[in-house]
Amino acid sequence: MSVSDAALVLFSGGQDSTVCLAWALERFARVETVGFDYRQRHAVELMVRPRIRERLPAIAERWAPRLGDDHLIRIDALADISETALTRDVAIEISASGLPTTFVPGRNLIFLSFAGALAYRRGIRHLVAGMCETDFSGYPDCRDDTIKAMQVALTLGLDRRLTIHTPLMWIDKAGTFALAQSIGGEQLIDLLLAETHTCYFGDREHRHDWGFGCGECPACRLRAEGFAKWKAAS
């Protein structure tokens, strides 16, 4: 990878995307970030993004000159057309389709399309995203096959080679904590616990050993279980 390489990280403010951002800062000469406001119930994740970006350069001096611009894209239409537990006051449960009601149809496809368009304008050929097939709650737009198909579609549609990197695709939440420690040591772990947001209900009042959250929603349980598994193996 040459020093001219640049990456655009899909950065929500959550644990996974923060680890992906650190991963990118280790590998690319310039790293920009993009977040999406789709009127999500847990919009507090958008509020923690600036704090995470501000604290990351202190973890490794080499990251400071590499961390570039941040972009925030509003996609209100996604909430308008979605009847999901992440965009409406709907119970979190398994729907008639067999998927959790937290599944927002097409969300990652739309995110990658907007990110690809932004990357094109910014002269960036690498996208980095936190999709994971190991503990992805059954979301079809998190599957490796989906991401590979989107890479082909974006490359064809933009007439420019675009590579989508998913460093978390084959690891679970415990593996994500382990990856974070290998990249940024205890400082990155502390940042994940203090600042990143995962809870579907946007709970920033209750602090646990694994971070902030309600402790009951599927996202919190997954994070708590992953943290416990990682600590047990450490």
pLDDT at 48 over 90: yes
pLDDT at position 2:
43
> Is residue 124 in some structural domain?
yes
Strand locations in 46-106 (E): 67-74
Task: Encode pLDDT of 151-161 as tens digits.
Answer: 999 999 999 99
pLDDT at position 207:
96
> Is residue 176 in some structural domain?
yes
The Cα 181–Cα 203 span in angstroms is 25
pLDDT at 60 over 80: yes
What is the pairing mode between strands 67-74 and 30-37?
parallel
> Is residue 1 in some structural domain?
no
Task: Specify the number of domains making up the chain.
Answer: 1
| pLDDT higher at 98 or 10 | 10
> Is residue 172 in some structural domain?
yes
> Is residue 147 in some structural domain?
yes
> Is residue 201 in some structural domain?
yes
The whole domain housing 62 covers: 6-233
The Cα 196–Cα 167 span in angstroms is 18
> Is residue 55 in some structural domain?
yes
98: left (phi over 0), alpha (psi -120 to 50) or beta: left
CATH code of 85's domain: 3.40.50.620
Task: Encode pLDDT of 206-234 as tens digits.
Answer: 999 999 999 998 889 999 999 999 999 98
Share above pLDDT 90 across residues of the chain, in percent, rounded to a whole number: 71
> Is residue 133 in some structural domain?
yes
pTM: 0.91
